[in-house]
Amino acid sequence: MRQEASILTPSQVGQYIKGFMDRDRLLSGLLVRGELSNYKMYPSGHHYFTLKDREGALRCVMFRGDAASLRFRPQNGMQVIAAGRVTVFPRDGQYQMYCVRLTPEGAGDLFVAFEQLKERLLRQGLFAQEHKKPLPRMPGRIALVTSPAGAAVRDMLRILGARWPMAQVQILPVRVQGEGAAEEIAAAIRWANLHQVADLMITGRGGGSMEDLWAFNEEVVAQAIYDSNIPAISAVGHEPDVTIADFVSDLRAATPSNAAELAVPDQNEVYAALLGSKQRMEQAMRQRLLRGRQQLERLGKSRMLTDPKAYVQDKRVLLDYQSRRMDQAMTNLLAVKRARTGQLAAALDAMSPLKVLGRGYAIAQKQDGGIIAHTGDAAPGERFRLRVSDGELPCRVEETNACDTAQ
């Protein structure tokens, strides 16, 4: 007898396929290479995207817990390798990949994250040269933001003590790698600024892998260094190691030991410079004293000091001679000026109207002071004054005639 087939619901079919796929070892641990597209991050923290190539596409989801471990910012068009499992979402009957890890192809995720953050902070101006602060030449207080254990801090303390023992060195202990290290470093930098505990600050650690040094590539550390009012030297790893903190700091040192050398002067060099300055000052003082002594000797041999009475008499004779010359010059000048004044007075007297009147001439003036120069200037019956050399004669015009003279 033929067995009748079971009738299933869509959800039952989906669950069956899901169970089948979940038991498949290949689908439970896949690595898929493809190009990112339709990448979206939702407020829930989950990331949804599609991996595609020329012939197909695969829907993917990365839940918030797994997405929190991303070191870079995924962008559409990036070639990536996704790790996870493929299964069916029974409600929609669509298969999709549940990603637990996402890595850029051809470069590590840390490298991509580093380049992305560097480009973004560069655009924001955190690397601007004009923001760099000068380092004090002879700092009195130095803060070391680093791990209290390890060779790096011991090397810095040894070099600082040997080169500039006058400086007070304070260690601000922090974790320099692992989860929460970046936040500790940033908090220590802000605390140092809040309490103004140092004139100069060194942030750094010894060498390690890029992942070991990653705390100094975090944005929170970069922002704390940028906001710091205390000049900062970055000393992370070895010469080839480059971190975001190096770009933001006021000065980058190749190693922690090099940072200590750059932070303070060498006391022996300073002593040698001071000794040289002292010797130059002493030499200059000796030269000045010698010149003063020579000048004093020359003055001591001068006539003014050897025979002051005769010197004063000579000066008195010279003063009398100059006084006589001045008196004679003044007398001559006054004579010249007096003669010139007499000439000008004679010329002025010759041109005086009174002289003209003295020769028999007269001036006819109206009552208002106007001069009668023509017969038309006065009317018959008009009174006027006739001015002569010794006074005035009151007159009246009887008649006007161009040929007659009024009386």
Which strand (E) or helix (H) includes residue 342?
Answer: helix 308-350
Cα–Cα–Cα angle for 136, 228, 220, rounded to 5 degrees: 140
- Binning pLDDT at 50, 70 and 90, where does residue 402 land? low
- Binning pLDDT at 50, 70 and 90, where does residue 165 land? very high
- Alpha-carbon distance of 59 to 16, in angstroms, equals 20
Domain 10-106 belongs to what topology? Answer: OB fold (Dihydrolipoamide Acetyltransferase, E2P) (2.40.50)
E strand segments, 229-372: 232-236, 251-252, 363-366
Name the residue ranges covered by the structural domains of the chain.
10-106, 138-265, 356-396
* CATH of region 138-265: 3.40.50.2300
- Alpha-carbon distance of 365 to 59, in angstroms, equals 129
Residue with tokens 């500039």, as numbered in its chain: 164
- Alpha-carbon distance of 203 to 259, in angstroms, equals 9
Residue closest to 181 by CA, chosen among 216, 156, 134, 232: 216
Q: Which of 17-26, 129-138, 192-201 shows the lowest per-residue confidence on average (mean pLDDT)?
A: 17-26
What pLDDT was estimated at residue 356? 67
For 281, counting Cβ atoms within 10 Å of its Cβ (0-12 exposed, 13-18 middle, 19+ buried), the class is exposed
Q: Report which of residues 248 and 19 the model is more confident about.
A: 248
Alpha-helix residue ranges (DSSP H) falling in 125-266 = 151-163, 181-195, 219-227, 244-248, 256-263
Residue closest to 102 by CA, chosen among 28, 42, 51, 58: 51
Q: Report which of residues 103 and 167 the model is more confident about.
A: 167
Given a cut of 50, whether residue 407 has pLDDT beyond it is no
Residue closest to 263 by CA, chosen among 354, 159, 400, 368: 159
In the 8-state DSSP scheme, what is residue 5?
P
What pLDDT was estimated at residue 109? 66
- Alpha-carbon distance of 177 to 78, in angstroms, equals 29
* pTM of the entire predicted model: 0.54
Which strand (E) or helix (H) includes residue 386?
Answer: strand 383-388
Mean pLDDT score of the chain = 86
Strands in 363-366's sheet, in edge-to-edge order, are 363-366, 383-388, 391-396
Which strand (E) or helix (H) includes residue 403?
Answer: none
Chain segment 234-248, per-residue pLDDT in tens: 999 888 888 999 999
- Alpha-carbon distance of 154 to 205, in angstroms, equals 11
The most confident of the ranges 28-42, 106-120, 377-391 is 28-42
DSSP string, 83-114: EEEEEEETTTTEEEEEEEEEEETTS-HHHHHH
Chain segment 193-203, per-residue pLDDT in tens: 999 999 999 99
What pLDDT was estimated at residue 185? 97
Listed in sequence order, the residues at least 6 apart from 207 whose beta carbon sits closer than 8 Å to its beta carbon are 237, 238, 241
What pLDDT was estimated at residue 406? 42
Residue closest to 363 by CA, chosen among 398, 397, 389: 389
What pLDDT was estimated at residue 94? 82
Chain segment 179-193, per-residue pLDDT in tens: 999 999 999 999 999
